[in-house]
Structure formats: C-alpha cells, structure tokens
Structure 1
Amino acid sequence: MDLHHLIYQSQALGDFGAPALAALLQRGRAHNHAHNISGVLLHTFDGRFLQVLEGPRTVVRHLYYHIILSDTRHFHCQVLGEGPIARRSFAGWTMGCRLAHAADLRALLGEVLADDLGLTHRPYPRAQLLALLEDFIAQPPGATEPAHLLDSPPTRHQ
C-alpha cells in the first residue's frame, strides 16, 4: 500500500463548540474507517484545527482536496506537510481528537499569530513536525485540563 500523510491547519468560521465537534468526529470517524484513513485532530478553544491524515495516497489527497477544502465551516486551510510515509503515526485512531490551546499550536509549530486569519507557519521538515505532534499526543492532558469525552478508544488499521 502506498501510505501517505497530509498535515494541515485551518480556522473555524464562527462558533465551533462541543456539539459541532462531536458531530464532525462522528461523521469523520465513520468516513475514515470505511476508507482506511487514520489520524488525529487537534482543536483549540478559539476554533483552530490541526489535523494529520494517513492512508492510501489517492484517498488522503481526495479527502483533503475535494472534501475538507470545500467544507464551509472553516477557512484559511494550509497544508503544513504532505508526502509518503513508511508507517502510520496514529494507526490506532480513525480520527483521534485532542483539545489544545492556541499556545500549544504555537509551541508545536514555532509560530506566532499573524493576523485574524489564523496561524502562519515556519516550515518544518515533515518528519520533525510529525515527531512533535506524536510527542504532543503522547502526553496526557494536564491535571487542569477538562476531560476530553470526545476521544474514542483507538481502532485498528491494517
């Protein structure tokens, strides 16, 4: 199988609270399970998204370029990294989800807030960015963080 990943960020258009996130995760997980896609979604309280998609190249690219980009619930979509991978980093999740703070994304990406459109990025080599994301996801949420009831147990991918 030609494994591929795509990492992108975007900004929600308007309020994107817990009910909207839960609905997005339910639909996304069903779609990803049916299409052999794994990955993780980081969502900030101010409506930013950072997502890693992993799976067959044509399926991942179709999902991003034909479905995600046309989703009117967000804007300022920006690919941070894309390319072939030897193994899945988030194989256990059809769409893991982790709440984050804007400061977490700035720390992960070495970024500063540019303007109202969201984050701009300083390019990382893809492997370095992926390693930073893996480390972030591996850390348990802090003791002061609310429990994340939206994160479901991992599911297996072949």
Structure 2
Amino acid sequence: MTRGKNAKFTTGSIMRHVSVSSFTASIGLMAIYAVDLIDLIFISMLGYEEMAAAAGYASALLFFTSAINIGLSVAASVLVSRSIGEDDELEAREYATSTVMLVMVVGIAIPLVLLTNIEFFVGLLGATGQVAELAATYLWIVLPFTWVSGLSMVTVVSLRC
C-alpha cells in the first residue's frame, strides 16, 4: 500500500477532490441508468406495448434495489476512507470485507423478499394483467443478480478509497 508521498487526495483543494470523486461516481450511475433507458427503447421498438410497459414497471422496482446498493457503497467508502485516513490498514480491510459481505447478504435477501411477493410489488406499482405477468418474468430474470451490481459498487469505492 502506498503511503504519504504518492497520495493524491490528502493535499490540495478539497473542492477539487470532491468534484473529481463526484464526477467519476456520477458517470458510473449514468451508465447504469443509460442501460435501463436503452433497454426500454429497444423493447418499445419491438412494437409490443405490454412488453415496454412491463419493462418500465420492472425498472421502477429495480431502481430501489440500485438505491440500496448505492447506499451500501457510500457506507463502504466512508468507513474505508476514514480508516485509511487514520493510517489503519487492518481496519480498512475489515470494513471493506464487512461491507462486501453485507452487500452480498442484502443483495440476496432483498430479491428473495421481492420475488416471493412479486405479484404484490408489481401490483403496488399499478401493473395488472399481462403487463404484470411480463414484469414479473423480467424481474425473475434480473433480480437474482442485483447482488453482483452491489458487489461491484462496493469494490469500486473501496479501491477508490
């Protein structure tokens, strides 16, 4: 682990460091939602209104799982960066490992809750009939792997720290 001399974010303008970090994080978030937008555009181009509506309902539910993953990655970045700032390498590793484990547990538990009650949650968003069935099918494909997104977010912020 490099120390002191090569540290880029321990000296200089705090505003610049916050701006650079915020900009790089926002690019990652925009990429996530750009994929959702492109997905919706492609599905709507197929000409099946029910599929486009179902993908829209599913995206709304997936937004909440992404928000939880983002919150966990923020927690990881705060804990790991504070430990690194205190020059406590062991504690930083422990926080990084703990948040990775937590994001995996949460990333498995939330889809389990959502998928076991999928009709309720899709109905809560307002989907009915075939649109609800298509949204549920889409969510059965995507939701089980949201833990991978959370894992990558926590890993990236830990490395950035």
State the TM-score, normalizing by the size of structure 2. 0.25
